[in-house]
Structure 1
Amino acid sequence: MSEPQRILIVGGGQGIGWEVTKSILRLSPQARIAVFGIHLEEEVQNLPTTANGRVPVVSEGDITSENDRQLLVKECLEEMGGIDTLVFTAGVITPIERIEKLNMEDVKRTFDVNVFGCMAMCQLCLPYLRQSRIKNPTNVAYGKAIILSSGCDKEISYHGWMPYCTTKAALTRFIEMLAHEEPLLTVQGVYPKLTRTKMPEDIIAGKYKGVMADHEIEKFRVWNEIGDEMVEPPEWCGEAVGKLALGLYPGGKSGESLDYDIHVPVGLRRK
């Protein structure tokens, strides 16, 4: 029997990343997980105890910190012996502000999290992902990086979302270039749909009135009233990414960024 798969989930303690973590624990009896995130809830911090040894690393830290990133990889090597699969779900949408009032330091912070944090994490993991693919050449789950981007990278635009949209455009291009430079690996970008998080709640509550256009805010309100078919629960994307990480579905070709339900066809939703 092969050794258990070792999966590092950056951003795995909240939102879609937390659902990915739970999905993998539910779907695989063997896979081992390292969870990294900022402001981890008690339930996440307790995983080394509650998950029967399958989550040996729970590390609270900042993806923009070089020291935190290096300590994380060191923990993964010490506790799991390597990294077979990287899942990067960390990201921020703020600041939501029009260009005339943007604080550029805030914009730089968004790039540091959404783009440079991901690039640096992939760089650190590369040697271990390569080793994993060489040892497991026929298993699509090994030697894989899964990176959550956004459909706002190219085609979707809202007033005040310039920092977020430009970081996601850069991230999607990075996914393409990483796959081009690392043909041994599988690098897949994943687009969540509009997901029920604090972001749509703030928009609906009017936090960004005067920044976003009125008709854009109203669109979010209507979608919210329609329910899950328009503003999805994070479990839907999280379960699909978990299956993609475990190799239960091969997903799209390396370098592609696709909707999660194209990578992993999900069929009809439960009512």
Structure 2
Amino acid sequence: MSEAQRILIVGGGQGIGWEVTKAILRFSSQARIAVFGSHLEEEVRELPDKANDRVAFVSEGDVTSDIDRRSVVKECLEKMGGIDTLVFTAGVITPIERIEKLNMDEVKRTFDVNVFGCMAMSQLCLPHLRHSRTTNYTNAAYGKAIILSSGCDKEISYQGWMPYCTTKAALTRFVEMLAHEEPLLTVQGVYPKLTRTKMPADVIAGKYKGIMADHEIEKFRVWNEIGEEMVEPPEWCGEAVGKLALGLYPGGRSGESFDYDTIGIHVPVSLHKK
């Protein structure tokens, strides 16, 4: 039997990341978690005291800060003894603006969070993920990195979303390249669907009229009225990623990015209603 799994969730304090955290605690009685993020719900902060030692620590920090990144990895080693699985859910969708008016400093910040933050965290975790894989080679959950990307990487485009779409395209390609360079590890990219989190709330509210095309904003408005069939609750993707992190399902091949609900993981029946 493998030792108790040690999971670092970057961005695990809100949105889909928070649902991943809750799902892992719900589906495993043994796995230990470390949560790192810049925005932490109050419930998240209370986890170390309420989760019966299942949550080693919760760290509020900036994924774009080298000091913060190194500090959280160091704390993982001190309090959990290592890192078996990395789950990266951090991301920002802004700025939403057309190219002629884009503030490039804001664009750089988006790349710093969505792309370079992920690359840097993966780099720091590599030796620990390799060690985990070689010492737990029969367990698919060990020596694994799960990275949330977006279908906006290639197939989906909205006016004003250039910074977000290009960062996600880079992130999906990073998943491919990391798997290519690290064949010992399992590296999986996961696409959420349109999810009811803070990220798309302003889009749904029509804040970007005059930036996004009118028909694009109308599409979001209609989807919002339809409800869960089009704008999903974050629990659905969070549950699937939690099961994937625990190795309850193997998921797709290393280096691939896939929709969370196409890999054999159970999702709520209401997802399939037409």
User: Shorter-chain-normalised TM-score: which range?
Assistant: over 0.9
Please name the residue that 2:19 is paired with. Answer: 19
Please name the residue that 1:229 is paired with. Answer: 229
What is the DSSP-based 3-state SS (H/G/I as helix, E as strand, rest coil) of the residue aligned with 1:199? coil
2 CA distance for matches of 1:213 and 1:250? Answer: 40
**Uncovered stretches (5+) of structure 1, i.e. residues with no partner:** none
Q: Structure 1: which amino acid aligns with 2:105?
A: E
Cα offset, 1:267, TM superposition: 5.5
Please name the residue that 2:96 is paired with. Answer: 96
Deviations 1:168-218 (A, max 9, x none): 000000000000000000000000000001233211222100000100000
Please name the residue that 1:263 is paired with. Answer: 263
Is this contact kept in 2: 1:251–1:263, CA < 8 A? yes
What is the DSSP-based 3-state SS (H/G/I as helix, E as strand, rest coil) of the residue aligned with 2:244? helix
1 CA distance for matches of 2:200 and 2:112? Answer: 23
What is the DSSP-based 3-state SS (H/G/I as helix, E as strand, rest coil) of the residue aligned with 2:125? helix
Is this contact kept in 1: 2:236–2:268, CA < 8 A? no
Please name the residue that 1:122 is paired with. Answer: 122
2 CA distance for matches of 1:86 and 1:30? Answer: 17
Cα offset, 1:56, TM superposition: 1.1
- 1:240-251, aligned counterparts within 5 Å? 240-251=240-251
Please name the residue that 2:142 is paired with. Answer: 142
2 CA distance for matches of 1:140 and 1:210? Answer: 47
Once the two structures are overlaid, the 10-residue window that deviates more, 200-209 or 117-126, is: 200-209
Is this contact kept in 2: 1:200–1:220, CA < 8 A? no
What is the DSSP-based 3-state SS (H/G/I as helix, E as strand, rest coil) of the residue aligned with 2:55? coil
Please name the residue that 2:158 is paired with. Answer: 158
What is the DSSP-based 3-state SS (H/G/I as helix, E as strand, rest coil) of the residue aligned with 1:83? coil
- 1:68-87, aligned counterparts within 5 Å? 68-87=68-87
Q: Structure 1: which amino acid aligns with 2:223?
A: W
Q: Structure 1: which amino acid aligns with 2:126?
A: L
2 CA distance for matches of 1:9 and 1:18? Answer: 9
What is the DSSP-based 3-state SS (H/G/I as helix, E as strand, rest coil) of the residue aligned with 1:198? coil
Please name the residue that 2:209 is paired with. Answer: 209
Question: Residues 2, 137 of structure 1: CA spacing in aligned structure 2 closer, same or farther, 3 A cutoff?
Answer: closer
Is this contact kept in 2: 1:194–1:231, CA < 8 A? yes
TM-score of the pair, normalised by structure 1: 0.98
Please name the residue that 1:47 is paired with. Answer: 47
1 CA distance for matches of 2:267 and 2:114? Answer: 30
Deviations 1:114-172 (A, max 9, x none): 00000000000000000000001110000000000000000100000000000000000
Question: Residues 157, 228 of structure 1: CA spacing in aligned structure 2 closer, same or farther, 3 A cutoff?
Answer: same
What is the DSSP-based 3-state SS (H/G/I as helix, E as strand, rest coil) of the residue aligned with 2:200? helix
Cα offset, 1:268, TM superposition: 5.5
What is the DSSP-based 3-state SS (H/G/I as helix, E as strand, rest coil) of the residue aligned with 1:49? helix
1 CA distance for matches of 2:8 and 2:37? Answer: 11
- State percent identity of aligned pairs: 83
Is this contact kept in 2: 1:240–1:264, CA < 8 A? no
**CA RMSD across the alignment:** 1.1
TM-score of the pair, normalised by structure 2: 0.97
1 CA distance for matches of 2:27 and 2:3? Answer: 17
Please name the residue that 1:56 is paired with. Answer: 56
Question: Residues 209, 20 of structure 1: CA spacing in aligned structure 2 closer, same or farther, 3 A cutoff?
Answer: same
**Uncovered stretches (5+) of structure 2, i.e. residues with no partner:** none
2 CA distance for matches of 1:2 and 1:196? Answer: 36
1 CA distance for matches of 2:237 and 2:179? Answer: 22
Is this contact kept in 2: 1:73–1:125, CA < 8 A? yes
2 CA distance for matches of 1:226 and 1:51? Answer: 36
Q: Is residue 173 from structure 1 mapped to residue 169 from structure 2 by the alignment?
A: no
Where has structure 1 moved over 3 Å in runs of 4 or more?
Answer: none
Across the two proteins, how many residue pairs are aligned to each other? 271
Question: Residues 198, 268 of structure 1: CA spacing in aligned structure 2 closer, same or farther, 3 A cutoff?
Answer: closer
1 CA distance for matches of 2:91 and 2:264? Answer: 22
2 CA distance for matches of 1:125 and 1:255? Answer: 17
